[in-house]
Structure 1
Amino acid sequence: MDPESVRFMAREILILRRLDHPNVMKLEGLITSRVSGSLYLIFEYMEHDLAGLVATSGIKFTEAQIKCYMKQLLCGLEHCHAQGVLHRDIKGSNLLIDNSGNLKIGDFGLSTFFHPRQKQPLTSRVVTLWYRPPELLLGATDYGVSVDLWSSGCILAELYAGKPIMPGRTEVEQLHKIFKLCGSPSEEYWKKSKLPHATIFKPQHPYKRCIAETFKDFPFSALALLDVLLAVEPDGRGTASSALRSEVLDKFLTVLTCPATLQHVDELSCEPH
């Protein structure tokens, strides 16, 4: 393994060892290959990932399932953030689900440690494009838990819509999709944030926010949470803890009300289309 790969894997192992939560994948062990010199991380087996379930024809999540998965995602993130860890790549394929409906956050390859009171520059080249918040697209290097919350908002909308909501092909197109749906930041935000790419990408005319109109068929309580998580300015997204206190999730019991089984999914995915 090259030194850069070793450095990244060492950080991922340190992060995984710090985390211990039912909604976070647990590192079970390590295996090395004497022949290739490779190092392999061992995790428990999970039958599905959320992206695969969303893409499977014949599956439409119930509101109870959506609440179940979102509560588990946010509980996992709450633990990560409390332990000083940013995931930085929340997306459906990194959310693993077993046949009993238990969700665990996986793939901490882009994760990093952070200290809210000790600001240090972070890379903006993280988070898969469709789930990347506007401040990272604008080159921000000073950010925190809000990047994971934006991605969680994209997941929430995707679960109700049955498909990714902002599938941009380039960073420019992604930013345009975000502004078109979520509105553009306030003039005050542009001035105080001093983002590296602001002069290039700042729209000539402000965009109006239209989340409520676009997703008018979503349940009202879910729409209220989505409106917070997809705040175009990071300070408006709150925390994983505040999201868990939202009306849509506050009184929802997680595991007890999860779907009984997902074993039939393997049969569905094998059917001809």
Structure 2
Amino acid sequence: MEADHHSRRYAIEQKVGEGSFGQVFRARDRQHGHVVALKKVRIRDVRMLPAAALRELLALQQISHPNVLELLGQYTHGANLVLVMPFLPLSLATVLEQQHLPMPSERVREIAIMLLSGLVACHESDLVHRDIKPANLLIDAHGRLQIADFGQSRLLPKDAGGSLTAQVATRWYRAPELLFGSRYYGKGVDIWASGCVIAQLWSISPLLPGDSDLDQIFQVLLLLGSPSEANWPGVTLMPDFHKLELPRCQPKPMRRVLPYAPSSAVDLVSKMICYDPKARVSANDALSHAWLAGGL
């Protein structure tokens, strides 16, 4: 990195991640001695920031909450935008990989409260994360969960008719309206994904592990039964609904899917993982549910 004020301040120790967005480095802040993460995003055209980088930057700038990863700073360096964030090496995905038995119910409850509290902060700003999954939920040294990676996030269109892309979210956590190609959706996609994450804390393995987009739809059908106008008003108008010949399936009781979860938790997960986005509980209302009421 070139010898400017910011690059002199951060001493890179090692590369810890790489993806389509760019690279992530572990670095030490020489000024304060803290370990930080530097997310380096390449800017192909210096006159224009990549959409994902700009979304993440704006999202992190406008939200300040203990359960949302903090943006410590940002700067440009040559042809790169660099986001400075706390370095949290542990993700919920890593915790689940190391877990061989269902997580204790009280710890699941704590994680659910922290996840939903972070979502409330996002949703109150009309920001939809659109990629909630264990790998994007980081855990600090005190066990506190923080929502990270806002590269797919989007402010909801103020125009009620404003459309969004359906090509978002990681497959196993993708809401059915996205699977059927809807471009008109909202905060419910985060609620669905969060419900899948919470369920996974008991089941250890992903709740809906589709091998392809088509198989993902069938995984949802096997859990919730066949979608219809009765259980999901407007589903037959979805762009991709009539492109598929869907089998007739009966819903599977969530209690059978989550045998280790308390009944009140099963009830909340059922309110998060349902076909009709309008029927899904909001993040704020979920925190008032009997299972979570009272906080941590």
Would you call these one fold, judging by a TM-score over 0.5? yes
Gap runs ≥5 in structure 1: 254-273
Structure 1 segments, 4+ long, off by >6 Å, are none
Query: Whose strand proportion is higher, 1 or 2?
Result: 2
CA distance in 1, matches of 2:149, 2:245: 33
Cα distance, 1:7–1:58 mapped onto 2, change above 3 Å: closer
1:230-250 deviation digits (Å, cap 9, x = unpaired): 012211212001111111101
Cα distance, 1:205–1:58 mapped onto 2, change above 3 Å: closer
CA distance in 1, matches of 2:233, 2:193: 25
Letter in 2 for 1:93: A
Structure 1 residue 214 and structure 2 residue 257: aligned?
A: yes
1:192-213 deviation digits (Å, cap 9, x = unpaired): 2410000023524243343222
Structure 1 residue 114 and structure 2 residue 152: aligned?
A: no
Indicate if the aligned counterparts of 2:174 and 2:189 stay in contact, CA closer than 8 A: yes
Letter in 2 for 1:165: L
Question: Paired residue for 2:133, among 91, 113, 122?
Answer: 91
Q: Which residue of 1 aligns with 2:186?
A: 144
Query: Whose helix proportion is higher, 1 or 2?
Result: 1
Indicate if the aligned counterparts of 1:116 and 1:144 stay in contact, CA closer than 8 A: no
TM-score (normalizing by structure 2): 0.79
Letter in 1 for 2:190: D
Map of 1:164-175 to 2, 5 A cutoff? 164-175=206-217
Secondary structure of 2:138's aligned partner: strand
Q: Could you say what the CA RMSD is over the residues aligned between the two structures, in angstroms?
A: 1.9
Structure 1 residue 8 and structure 2 residue 52: aligned?
A: yes
Indicate if the aligned counterparts of 2:202 and 2:260 stay in contact, CA closer than 8 A: no
Structure 1 residue 48 and structure 2 residue 74: aligned?
A: no
Q: Which residue of 2 aligns with 1:225?
A: 268
Secondary structure of 2:73's aligned partner: strand
In the comparison of the two structures, how many residue pairs are matched?
Answer: 251
Indicate if the aligned counterparts of 1:22 and 1:76 stay in contact, CA closer than 8 A: yes
Which stretch of the first structure deviates more once superposed, 86-95 or 215-224? 215-224
Indicate if the aligned counterparts of 2:162 and 2:184 stay in contact, CA closer than 8 A: yes
Identity of aligned pairs, percent?
A: 33
Which structure would you say has the larger RCO, counting Cα contacts within 8 Å and 6 or more residues apart? 1
Which stretch of the first structure deviates more once superposed, 82-91 or 58-67? 58-67
CA distance in 1, matches of 2:80, 2:158: 35
Structure 1 residue 196 and structure 2 residue 196: aligned?
A: no
Indicate if the aligned counterparts of 1:184 and 1:232 stay in contact, CA closer than 8 A: no
1:205-229 deviation digits (Å, cap 9, x = unpaired): 2433432222233210110011101
Indicate if the aligned counterparts of 1:90 and 1:127 stay in contact, CA closer than 8 A: yes
Structure 1 residue 64 and structure 2 residue 106: aligned?
A: yes
Which stretch of the first structure deviates more once superposed, 232-241 or 213-222? 213-222
Cα distance, 1:143–1:238 mapped onto 2, change above 3 Å: same
Question: Paired residue for 1:179, among 212, 218, 221?
Answer: 221
Which structure: larger Rg?
2
Cα distance, 1:210–1:201 mapped onto 2, change above 3 Å: farther
- Following TM superposition, by how much is the alpha carbon of 1:86 offset from its aligned partner in structure 2, in angstroms? 0.2
Letter in 2 for 1:7: A
